[in-house]
Amino acid sequence: MSWLRRSLAFFVRCVEVVPSPCCGEKLKVIGSRKRISRNATGEVKLLALRRLRCTGCRKIHHELPDCLVPYKRYESTCLEEVVSEEEAGTVVAADDSTLYRWRSWYNELTTYWCGALSSIAVRFHQQPMEVSSTPSLSARHRIGQIVGDAPGWLARVVRPITNVNLWLHTRSAFLSADAFGRLSS
Ligand SMILES: [Zn+2]
């Protein structure tokens, strides 16, 4: 899975020259943006994410540390634990409606994530994933086939998809043909 490791670059601090996710040009650091994250106990952390500008098209990007999922306030590991639970538990200090939203978000987007990851693999000229299309396979199982089951799997899903600007903003968003069209262009 070398394509997954290669796509790490955008998220690693202190790497000076990383290609932009829009046109593959250099990114210039132009400042930072404050971002709040919460851990499993609900404790709030304030992070400063670097603002980066593409030297090709001048589009602004924000660095995303491994611990975060775009548009989610809780750390990636919290979301990962909650959506991995067989039965609803209390591993993360968040209210029930938040936990419910995370599970719905996960269930609705898993198929999209699988498709996006497979397309990225093709785009970077890697072998397409041998993902079983058996409908009885759980969403978790299908994702596991691509990024593995070890802790941190959600971050491994988020990173490459975000790097190519295909992360969906809301759980109700659905895949447009356009999104995959961009991948193959
Ligand atoms: Zn650009």
- pLDDT confidence of residue 72: 92
CA of 182 to the centre of ligand 1 (A): 14
Averages of pLDDT over runs of 10 residues in the chain (185 residues) are: 36 54 87 90 89 92 87 93 78 89 90 88 68 62 86 91 81 45 40
DSSP letter at 172 equals T
Distance 26 CA to ligand 1 centre (A): 8
Phi (first) and psi of residue 152, to 5 degrees: 100, 5
How far apart are the CA of 114 and the centre of ligand 1, in A? Answer: 25
Report pLDDT for 14. Answer: 42
What's residue 175's pLDDT? 45
Indicate the DSSP class of residue 74: B
Domain count along the chain: 1
Residue 47 backbone phi and psi in degrees, to 5: -115, 150
Q: Which pLDDT score, from 0 to 100, does residue 172 have?
A: 47
Model pLDDT, residue 4: 38
Distance (angstroms) between ligand 1 centre and the Cα of 59 equals 6
Give the CA angle between residues 42, 162, 108 to the nearest 5°.
70
**Tokens linked to 66:** 């491994």
Q: What is the pLDDT of residue 122?
A: 82
pLDDT at 134: 59
Residue 18 token pair = 């990383």
Q: Return the number of other C-beta atoms located less than 10 Å from residue 99's C-beta.
A: 20
50 C-alpha to ligand 1 centroid (Å): 16
Could you tell me the distance, in angstroms and rounded to a whole number, from the CA of residue 23 to the centre of ligand 1? Answer: 4
Cβ atoms of 175 and 131 closer than 8 Å: no
CA 170 / ligand 1 centre spacing (Å)? 23
- Domain around 15: 2-184
- pLDDT score of 16: 45
